[in-house]
Amino acid sequence: MMKAVYPGSFDPVTFGHLDIIQRAAKVVDELIIGVIVNKAKKSPLFTLEERVSMLKEATKEYPNVTVKMFDGMTIDFARENGARLIIRGLRAVTDFESEMQIAQTNHSLDSNIDTMFFTTSLEYSFLSSTVVKEVASYGRDTSKFVPEVVQKAFREKFQMD
């Protein structure tokens, strides 16, 4: 049985993330989405619990996908969950260098766990959680970028009608 983890801060989950989730879920028997507090990023818009809840709602149609929160290194999270793969998405060439460095570091820490990259579908290649949060902060429509559960959360956070 092939088990994989897809780690990220998912602040919030976007259609780009869901594109990767949907495609990865077809390749592996079990996909665990690992929601982490990213210490390199400034304070998130959504709490860890809100992000997990939104992801659970957005992925409920995939029976082999679960969502968990974690703290620490992705390689440890993968090992603790019996995963042999770490799934990562690449939007553009600029993502590749840092993602490759992370993948090589993880592989040096545990050679039994590999990284599989999925390139984001062209229609989502420009999309990031940061961009979507900015669009939402100005009260603009985000329906092209995020699922309804996130749109609702934006309306509540930014007190939009």
Domains and CATH numbers, the chain: 3-157 (3.40.50.620)
Task: Answer positive or negative: Cα dihedral of 136, 127, 77, 84.
Answer: positive
| 79 in catalytic set | no
Quick one: which of 64, 62, 63, 67 has its CA closest to 12?
67
| 41 in catalytic set | yes
| 91 in catalytic set | yes
Instruction: List pLDDT tens digits, range 51-72.
Output: 999 999 999 999 999 999 999 9
The answer, yes or no, to whether residue 161 has pLDDT greater than 70, is no
Crossing angle between the packed helical segments 148-157 and 48-58, to the nearest 10 degrees: 150
| 107 in catalytic set | no
Mean predicted confidence (pLDDT) in 6-24: 97
Give 94's pLDDT tier (boundaries 50, 70, 90). Answer: confident
Which is the catalytic residue, given 91, 107, 155, 157?
91
* Count of H-run helices and E-run strands, the chain: 6, 5
Instruction: List pLDDT tens digits, range 105-139.
Output: 999 999 999 999 999 999 999 999 999 999 999 99
Rounded to the nearest 5°, which phi and psi values hold at 8?
A: 175, 170
